[in-house]
Amino acid sequence: MSAPESRSARRLARESSGDAHGAGPTGTGGADAPGPAPSKPSRAGRNLPAAIAVGVGLGAVIVLSLLTRKELMLGVIAIAVVVGVWELRRALARVRIRVPLVPSAVGAVSMLGSAYVRGGEGLAVTLGLTCVGILLWRISDGVLDAVRDVAGGFFVAVYPSFMAGFAVLLLAADDGAARIFVFILVTVCSDVGGYALGVLRGRHPMAPTVSPKKSWEGFAGSVIACVVGGALSVQLVLHGPWWAGALLGVAAAVTATVGDLTESTVKRDLGIKDMSNILPGHGGIMDRLDSLLLVAPVAWAVLKVFVPGG
């Protein structure tokens, strides 16, 4: 047999062997139908179109409520916090921490209402009453594991309910709608700046054991976006000094990152990825509130000291 004929025979033998095993010459299930290549998850780790759509929808609800009446925004905050309480309670139940739902939800709404009507003093007093209510409600069911459950209830009373009260303190000011707008805008700048630069240039993980996708490059993007957004919004919306907005931006970027890492730590400890799946592309309400909750008291303090017009 000549050399060309020998090579042809070997090639036919290989193709016949591939057909016998259900695979064509490419080893992918047939020469005419190689099959689709496996999809790769995006570096962002989320459904980006769904996330954008949900984000735009939530933003529209917030803007419309701020432009209509401040009380509508108070209702939006209350609904979000009560859902957050439900999500956090549900997550803690995975590790057998049973937080009483009724006093936690009633206390959350009461704290927000007290903050709006009576300011910081009302918020602090209602937090204490909520903790007492959680204690009595849980003890009435027996003392077995009560200490653990009460501690979990106190945690839920502070985070998210008490922390959200500072957003209501911003809202209660004479120019409260403008202050809430600046607060949310700066926090969103942190998320968007960190997301964009982190996806494009992220190379050095910030806390790989807690949040592998969070990088120092993304944090730099958060700081830059927050400083620019804070300086412009404080000057144009609140008519305050640009440097106060820049200071707010730096504080918000740091605090938002800490808030994100804190919730990532909690979720990792509980063995969950998201608090729930009610927001496509985002997870749960608490997955969106994590940064806002920690930035709220910082924004309230910075604006109260340096932009006291409200």
Q: Tell me: do 243 and 116 sit in the same domain.
A: no
Q: What pTM value is reported for the model?
A: 0.80
Amino acid at 135: L
What is the torsional sign of CA 23, 24, 30, 36?
A: positive
Q: Tell me, what's the pLDDT at 204? A: 83
Pairwise pLDDT comparison (279 vs 176), residue with the higher score: 176
Q: Tell me: do 203 and 218 sit in the same domain.
A: yes
Q: Tell me: do 145 and 181 sit in the same domain.
A: no
Q: Tell me: do 159 and 189 sit in the same domain.
A: no
Q: Tell me: do 155 and 239 sit in the same domain.
A: no
Section 62-86 average pLDDT: 93
Section 23-36 average pLDDT: 40
pLDDT at 227 > cutoff 80: yes
Q: Tell me: do 165 and 225 sit in the same domain.
A: no
Q: Tell me, what's the pLDDT at 282? A: 67
> What ranges make up the beta strands (E) of the chain?
205-207, 211-215
Q: Tell me, what's the pLDDT at 196? A: 83
Using an 8 Å Cβ cutoff, are 55 and 187 in contact?
A: no
Burial of 267 (0-12, 13-18, 19+ CB in 10 A): buried
Pairwise pLDDT comparison (165 vs 277), residue with the higher score: 165
Pairwise pLDDT comparison (152 vs 205), residue with the higher score: 152
Digit-coded pLDDT (tens) for 111-131: 999 999 999 999 999 999 999
**Does 9 reside within a domain?**
no
**Does 304 reside within a domain?**
yes
Q: Tell me, what's the pLDDT at 267? A: 82
Q: Output the six-digit token pair for 198.
A: 């982190």
Query: Worst-scoring range by mean pLDDT, 50-54, 263-267, 289-293?
Result: 50-54
Host domain of residue 237: 175-267+282-310
**Does 200 reside within a domain?**
yes
Q: Tell me, what's the pLDDT at 223? A: 95
Pairwise pLDDT comparison (298 vs 261), residue with the higher score: 298
Q: Which of 60, 80, 39, 105 is nearest to 167 (CA)?
A: 80
Q: Using 50, 70 and 90 to split pLDDT, how confident is the model at 46?
A: low
pLDDT at 24 > cutoff 70: no
Q: Tell me: do 98 and 183 sit in the same domain.
A: no
Q: Tell me, what's the pLDDT at 41? A: 45
Residue at a domain's end among 125, 149, 172: 172
Q: How many structural domains is the chain composed of?
A: 2
Whole-number mean pLDDT of the chain? 84
Return the H-helix or E-strand segment holding 243: helix 242-270
Q: Tell me, what's the pLDDT at 208? A: 79
Q: Tell me: do 85 and 147 sit in the same domain.
A: yes
Q: Which of 162, 189, 180 is nearest to 73 (CA)?
A: 180
Q: Tell me, what's the pLDDT at 182? A: 97
Section 271-292 average pLDDT: 79
